[in-house]
Structure formats: C-alpha cells, structure tokens
Amino acid sequence: MHLIAPSILSADFARLGEEITSVIKAGADWIHFDVMDNHYVPNLTIGPDIARAIKPYCVNDSGTAIPLDVHLMVKPVDSLAELFAKAGADSITFHPDAEIHVDRSLQAIRDLGCKAGLVFNPATPLDQLRYVIDKVDIVLLMSVNPGFGGQSFIPSTLDKIAEARRLIDESGRDIRLQVDGGVKIENIADVAAAGADTFVAGSAIFNADDYSSVIREMRGRITARVNG
Ligand code: DX5
Ligand code: ZN
C-alpha cells in the first residue's frame, strides 16, 4: 500500500494543530515530523515538547490514530530518540552516520515501542543496511540534502530506490521504503515506479491552497503508473 506522509516542516507553525487536522482530513496517512539540531544539519526546528503537543491532533474523523513519523536529523541520536518516543512518536528514523552504534540505537528505539528506521543521505551508500536489516522497519532515502524544505529532487535517487527495493525484497521483511525531498505531483509516479511505497512531501502539499487536491492527484499518479 502506498502512503503519503506530509512533512509539517512547510506547515504554518503558528497554527500547527489546525494544519495537522486539515492535512489529515485531506488524506494524509502519516504525519512526518522533521527534527533538525543546527549541528547535523544547518537548521533548527522542533523538539519533543512540540511532538507531545501535536500528538492529540494525529487522529482522523473516525478516531483512528494517524502515525507520527519522527525524522531525526540530529547528532547524537540516542538521548533524543528516547525523548521523542516518550512524547508519542510512532516511528523514529535516524541517520546512521549520526550515531556510533547503529545496531544498538535501532534496538533501543524498538524497545521503546516505536518502529525504527535508517535514513540515507544522497551520497551515503546503503552498506550498513545489509547488516541490520532485521532490526529495521523503515528505510528512508533522502532525495535532497537534509536541512530545508522546498529543494529539488536529486534524480540519482531513483537508482538508489531500486537498489533499496531489491535489498528489502531479498530480506523478505515487512519494511517501508520511504523517500523524502522534492517529491511533487510531477515526479511521484517515477518515485513509485522505482520501488518506493511511502512518500514524504512538504512544500508540495503545504504551499498549495487545497491540500486534498494535491494528495488526491499524487495518489492518482501513483496508481496510474503502478497499475498501468
Ligand atoms: C528535509 C526534510 C524533508 C522536507 C521535505 O531535510 O527531511 O522532510 O520537509 O520538504 P519538501 O517536500 O518541500 O522537499
Ligand atoms: Zn524529513
């Protein structure tokens, strides 16, 4: 199943709860929450207290919880991962180059009751994934250099998506393949065709007037390509 995960990085932070409610009504499957520390990446965003504050908004009209997907662009990882788990994160992804003992960090996130994931920057090879794939629930491929919303999709990501898809399929495990950065209506079909199943989109959704028409169009393009 293909999932759309709007990144609230491009939402109106002065009205965050309302923005989350609107994007869930518009069809969001997950809420993607970008954490930047002005150290691992050159920007500073939101912390565990904001995650805790918005958690009650992560629910749809029928009362079903919408997962809060925390993407940590921080170094080191472990202490903050624990704070986000306690604040209500459902999944926590981190960059393996930001923590020394990656296997231990993945296990620690799972022990806290969250799904755990590894994030690979555009120039970071997938090597480490092979050795810890049994502890990974999400593989997140960055299709921009992390730190800012609104950048352009880096085309070489498409080959990397196919490579990650092969590794996941060979493992036979239930692992989401997520792509983050520059995903738009115009390129989402290519990203899906390469093998991704979970699509982060920030500016493409939150900079539009009508969130639901963007999400509907994204789903339409994915379905047309994947079934076509
Ligand atoms: C970038 C963040 C992304 C970002 C994507 O470092 O991880 O989640 O919000 O924004 P767009 O979709 O605008 O590229
Ligand atoms: Zn992100």
Sole residue written with tokens 């639901």: 212
For ligand 1, atom 6: residue with the closest CA: 146
Mean pLDDT in runs of 10 for the chain (228 residues)? 98 98 98 98 98 98 98 98 98 98 98 98 98 98 98 98 98 98 98 98 98 98 89
- Report the topology of domain 3-227: TIM Barrel (3.20.20)
Q: Which of 29, 90, 180, 197 is catalytic?
A: 180
Pocket test for ligand 1, best of 4, 34, 124, 185 (most atoms within 8 A of CB): 34
Predicted TM-score (pTM) of this structure: 0.98
Angle, alpha carbons 210-211-213 (nearest 5°)? 70
What pLDDT shows up at residue 227? 77
Least Cα distance to 181 among 189, 191, 167 occurs for 191
For residue 36, the cross-strand partners are 73
Rg (CA), the chain: 16
Give me the pLDDT at residue 228, please. Answer: 67
